[in-house]
């Protein structure tokens, strides 16, 4: 049965011993940025780390295949949050800095003998930089790099109204419910509100383009709603958050198991 390790807790020789067993490394990618008046700046970090912890609880019951270990890297935050830069409290690295960081640390992983990496992302602004950095790591190191953003997982049945899932992209019901389950003490309940976002208005008007979706336009948070929030946080409660967390944890654990079972010989060199 494999073990779950935190990278920073190991000594160098211990890490080398774990790496020799072909483990799965998982790197949480998060952010420090505004989430309106009701959620803290660390929301994405709290949610990402909480979901990963719940996934690890699942893996303790049903471990990774082939008795592989799981290595949890320190969370990357701040990261790419340009879209929230108009609001106080947001800390953001330039996209180029984030890509360079992912490449540099990925190269360190490769030197340590790691060939299976899951980027577990809890912030939408990281998607583009994660995509490019993952491809660069694959090209440079023949490494399996899985890009897993929890908010892109198929939702649990009837988890939230479809319109809220589609358009509540920041500080809405999804994030607020998860925070109500994972860290309710951080919610400023007096400021929970329905911030009807631009995406919802465009969809209701039958428009083709939207902030997210098949024909998405680049947006800054203030474009979606003056508050910096996009979505109906009044739909959130701890019970709904617990159900969402359990579902996402199961999906995350499944991703990690599949990364462990992946046949690395399918990552071919040039013919």
pLDDT digits (tens, 9 = 90+) for 1-40: 799 999 999 999 999 999 999 999 999 999 999 999 999 9
Rounded Cα–Cα distance for residues 143 and 122 (Å): 22
pLDDT at residue number 268 = 92
Rounded Cα–Cα distance for residues 31 and 247 (Å): 22
Rounded Cα–Cα distance for residues 141 and 107 (Å): 7
pLDDT at residue number 156 = 81
Q: To the nearest 5 percent, what fractions of the chain are helix, strand and coil?
A: 50, 15, 35
pLDDT at residue number 104 = 98
Rounded Cα–Cα distance for residues 118 and 134 (Å): 10
pLDDT at residue number 269 = 85
Range name among 154-158, 180-184, 223-227, 263-267 with the lowest pLDDT average: 154-158
Q: What is the mean pLDDT of residues 84-99?
A: 98
Rounded Cα–Cα distance for residues 4 and 23 (Å): 10
Q: What is the mean pLDDT of residues 162-183?
A: 97
pLDDT digits (tens, 9 = 90+) for 28-77: 999 999 999 999 999 999 999 999 999 999 999 999 999 999 999 999 99
Rounded Cα–Cα distance for residues 157 and 217 (Å): 29
* CA atoms within 13 A of residue 32's CA, in its CB half-sphere: 9
Q: Which CATH architecture has domain 4-266?
A: 3-Layer(aba) Sandwich (3.40)
For Cα atoms 89, 76, 47, give the angle at the middle one, nearest 5 degrees. 70
pLDDT at residue number 248 = 98
Tokens of 169: 């992209």
pLDDT at residue number 155 = 86
- Asked if 95 and 111 touch (Cβ cutoff 8 Å), the reply is no
H-helix or E-strand spanning residue 130: helix 127-141
pTM equals 0.97
For Cα atoms 118, 166, 29, give the angle at the middle one, nearest 5 degrees. 25
Q: Residue 24: which of 75, 64, 74, 60 has the closest Cα?
A: 64
């Amino acid at each position: 049965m494999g073990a779950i390790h935190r990278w920073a807790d190991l000594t160098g020789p211990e890490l080398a011993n774990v790496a020799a067993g072909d483990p799965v490394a998982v790197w949480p990618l998060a952010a420090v940025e505004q989430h309106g008046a009701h959620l803290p700046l660390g929301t994405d970090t709290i949610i990402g780390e909480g979901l990963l912890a719940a996934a690890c609880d699942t893996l303790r019951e049903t471990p990774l295949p082939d008795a592989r270990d799981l290595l949890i890297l320190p969370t990357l935050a701040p990261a790419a949050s340009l879209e929230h830069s108009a609001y106080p409290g947001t800390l953001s690295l330039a996209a180029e800095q984030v890509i360079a960081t992912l490449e540099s640390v990925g190269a360190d992983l490769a030197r340590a003998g790691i060939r299976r990496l899951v980027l577990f992302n809890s912030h939408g602004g990281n998607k583009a930089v994660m995509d490019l950095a993952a491809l660069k790591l694959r090209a440079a190191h023949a490494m399996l790099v899985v890009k897993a953003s929890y908010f892109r997982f198929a939702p649990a049945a009837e988890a939230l109204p479809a319109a809220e899932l589609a358009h509540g992209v920041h500080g809405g019901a999804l994030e607020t419910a998860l925070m109500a389950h994972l860290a309710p003490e951080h919610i400023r309940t007096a400021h929970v509100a329905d911030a009807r976002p631009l995406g919802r208005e465009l969809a209701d008007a039958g428009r083709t383009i939207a902030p997210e979706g098949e024909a998405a336009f680049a947006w800054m948070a203030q474009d979606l709603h003056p508050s910096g929030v996009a979505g109906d946080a009044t739909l959130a409660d701890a019970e709904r958050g617990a159900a969402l967390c359990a579902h996402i944890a199961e999906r995350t654990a499944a991703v990690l198991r599949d990364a462990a079972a992946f046949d690395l010989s399918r990552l071919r060199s040039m013919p």
